[in-house]
Amino acid sequence: MDFNTSIPTAKRLERLQYENPWWLTGQVQQAYTEMSKRLYFKLFYPFVKETEIKRAVVLMGPRRVGKTVMMFHAIQELLAENIAPKKIFFIGIDNPIYMQLGLEEILLLAKDAVALNNLEDCFVFFDEIQYLKDWERHLKVLVDFYPKTKFIVSGSAAAALRLQSSESGAGRFTDFMLPPLTFHEYIHLKDLGHLMQAKSIKYDDKEIPFLLLTTIKHLIKSFSIT
């Protein structure tokens, strides 16, 4: 059986509408809006908004570090800045419903789902890009063919290694590596800043800031499961 032809287009359009609720509501799913942003978001988001340089943003990192959540936070920020909801697409490439489709075919389905005449000034998020064979070649074609569209993709650490060994994306991709949660971010997310005291150390004529723990009692308690 040809899995590609066995899935009706209507079902794929239905899935796209489910993945992009802001097309109707203007809002990202509540589950994501209630999550705190990682401190790396402030570094990542400017790459999302950069449209003068014609490059796709490739968000890389190990599994379960929060790449998908960061993408939804970026969408939330775009909506807050009055980017038209129907000009923001989110597509999870790991869903079997898109099997055997190229990135451009999926992109054009999303375009049809919101009845856009063109893709100018659109922000397109492809999640779990490593599930598409030769994804870097597909993405390169999109960057070249749709210069007025911004593409942001997420990929695993394995996809990062593949990208580094390939020349196909040279000059067309901006890599952003998201590491696992740092201790500093843990303090931030748990709102434990009051337990830390800002200090600095002088090294090579530069003041290097760091945080010093003032008490360990409450920090240990924050790790407890109640």
Spell out the domain ranges in the chain. 3-180, 185-222
Question: Residue 216: its pLDDT value, please?
Answer: 67
Closest CA to 21 of 83, 111, 114, 95: 114
Looking at residue 165, its pLDDT comes to 45
Rounded Cα distance between 58 and 61, Å, is 10
Residue 18 backbone dihedrals phi, psi, to 5 degrees: -70, -40
Question: Backbone phi, then psi, for 197, in 5-degree steps?
Answer: -120, 125
The DSSP annotation for 106-146 comes to HHHHHHHHTT-S--TT-EEEEESGGGSTTHHHHHHHHHHH-
Pick from 105, 104, 106, 99: nearest CA to 20: 106
In angstroms, the CA 173 to CA 51 distance is 13
List per-residue pLDDT tens for the chain, 226 residues long: 444 557 889 999 999 999 999 999 999 999 998 888 888 999 999 999 999 888 999 999 888 888 999 999 999 999 999 999 999 999 999 999 988 888 999 999 999 999 999 999 999 999 999 888 888 889 999 999 999 999 999 988 665 555 554 555 557 888 899 988 887 777 777 777 666 677 777 777 777 766 666 666 666 666 665 5
Centre a 10 Å sphere on the Cβ of residue 115 and count the other Cβ atoms it contains.
Answer: 7
DSSP, res 153: E
Between CA 6 and CA 22 the distance in angstroms is 28
CATH architecture of the region 3-180? 3-Layer(aba) Sandwich (3.40)
Are 101 and 127 in contact, with CB atoms under 8 Å apart? no
| Token reading at 106 | 């999926």
Of 134, 157, 156, 129, nearest to 56 by C-alpha is: 129
pLDDT at 193: 66
Q: Which tokens in the block code for residue 51?
A: 């449209």
